[in-house]
Amino acid sequence: MEESDSFKNIVDKLGAARKKICVLCLGCPESHIDSARVQVFLKRNGCIITENLKEADLIFFRTCGFTKLSELEVLEAIRHIKSKMQRDAILIPWGCLPKINPNALNHNYITLSEEDVWKLNKLLAVKEPTENVNANFLLPKHEKNSKIRRVIDFPRNLLWPFERNHPIVNTSKYGLPYFIKASTGCYGGCTYCAIRLSRGKTKSKRIEEVASEFNRGLKLGFKDFRLVGTDLGAYGRDRGCTLVDLLNIITEEEGKYVLSLRNVNPYWLIEMYNEMKPILSSGKIRYIASSVELGSNRILKK
């Protein structure tokens, strides 16, 4: 992250008395929870969060670069944002696309990587540093009694999470979901995957941290818990533990709740399967999402 005049301008904006910031996101659930964390961090440190692009002084836009279509959607979203924002506002595209394909943005923007965003507390006089901040929801935030709105055409589809505040609604019988980001990154080297270029190698939260977030959710009355990670199957490998160790701790808690496990690479699922049998038989695992095509050499060859 360069200490350019433009970047200092960002810091000045954040440090000014008038600090209206809009946080936007396109991409996967992990990106949406990352954006929620940015929003919580800024709010706790005195920034005014706004959903109105026309009044924002600074716009953090979490981008996706998973596929070429994702990239085109990001560029279309940027054009839409620029048409709505103030002339002197600053737009900061951050996250995956600047790492995966920096040339897509034509160097017209100050871009931040995943790591750079969390360095902001070193540049600002913050009350609460980033390492103390978690978010357990996705942007746009889930809320009770909200109607589902499905909009097909792309420009209008951009409007509803950005401007209309129609949150995504969960229809599970267990109520609203409580998201916990357990890890990021992956140990795989799949040549067809762009996300590894952005997220890097697996970095996991300590088991105690994840368990603490889980227990906090239980106390708040949540029953639908969703563990999020780039490759959740690799959880803990950087800390000398495994996803099984984490699940054994969490599922010891009594109560009526379910866990959903997103992005468990089949390589790890096969390796841990025997150890996971007692956990699966507990009835507390609602589903496991696993990209089964990764296990087929025939598909990979095609």
Domain boundary among 137, 169, 187: 137
Residue 222 and residue 103 share a domain: no
Long-range contacts from 113-119, C-beta under 8 angstroms, 24+ separation: 113/1, 113/198, 114/34, 114/184, 114/198, 114/199, 116/1, 117/38, 117/60, 119/1
Take residue 70 and report the two structure tokens written for it: 């994702």
Question: Is residue 152, in this structure, part of any structural domain at all?
Answer: no
Instruction: Give residue-wise pLDDT tens across range 178-234.
Output: 999 999 999 988 877 889 889 999 999 999 999 999 999 999 999 999 999 999 999
Take residue 33 and report the two structure tokens written for it: 């929870």
Take residue 87 and report the two structure tokens written for it: 């002339």
Domain boundary among 137, 163, 191: 137
Q: Is the pLDDT of residue 149 over 70?
A: no
Residue 207 and residue 132 share a domain: no
Nearest to 263 by CA among 23, 28, 13, 19: 28
Q: Which of 26-30, 172-176, 199-203 has the lowest mean pLDDT?
A: 172-176
Question: Is residue 274, in this structure, part of any structural domain at all?
Answer: yes
Residue 133 and residue 198 share a domain: no
Neighbouring residues of 44: CB distance < 8 A, sequence distance ≥ 6: 127, 128, 133
Contact 158, 140 (CB under 8 A): no
Averaged pLDDT, 70-83: 90
Going across the sheet that includes 48-49, the strands are 48-49, 20-25, 58-63, 90-95
Residue 205 and residue 107 share a domain: no
Q: Which pLDDT score, from 0 to 100, does residue 175 have?
A: 82
φ and ψ at residue 173, rounded to 5 degrees:
-65, -15
The CATH number assigned to the domain holding 226 equals 3.30.750.210
Cis peptide preceding 29, ω within 30 of 0: no
Query: Which letter does DSSP use for residue 282 in this model?
Result: T
Domain boundary among 75, 107, 137: 137
The CATH number assigned to the domain holding 102 equals 3.40.50.12160
Residue 132 and residue 9 share a domain: yes
Rounded to whole angstroms, how far apart are CA atoms 112 and 136? 23
pTM, rounded to two decimals: 0.83
CA torsion, points 120, 122, 123, 129, in degrees to nearest 10?
60
Residue 38 and residue 125 share a domain: yes
Q: Is the pLDDT of residue 170 over 90?
A: no
Beta bridge partners of 94: 62, 112
Cα distance between the two ends of the chain: 39
Question: Is residue 56, in this structure, part of any structural domain at all?
Answer: yes
Q: Is the pLDDT of residue 103 over 80?
A: yes
Rounded to whole angstroms, how far apart are CA atoms 111 and 99? 9
Residue 184 and residue 131 share a domain: no
Question: Is residue 23, in this structure, part of any structural domain at all?
Answer: yes
Q: Which pLDDT score, from 0 to 100, does residue 157 have?
A: 43
Q: Which domain holds residue 232?
A: 177-301
Residue 126 and residue 194 share a domain: no
pLDDT winner (highest mean) among 4-18, 123-137, 159-173, 249-263: 249-263
Q: Is the pLDDT of residue 18 over 70?
A: no
When the pLDDT of each residue in the chain is averaged and rounded to a whole number, the result is: 82
Q: Which of left, alpha, beta for 81 (phi over 0: left; psi -120 to 50: alpha)?
A: alpha
Question: Is residue 155, in this structure, part of any structural domain at all?
Answer: no
Q: Which pLDDT score, from 0 to 100, does residue 129 have?
A: 79
The domain tally of the chain equals: 2
Query: Which letter does DSSP use for residue 25 in this model?
Result: E
Neighbouring residues of 28: CB distance < 8 A, sequence distance ≥ 6: 64, 66
Take residue 280 and report the two structure tokens written for it: 């699966």
Q: Which pLDDT score, from 0 to 100, does residue 281 have?
A: 93
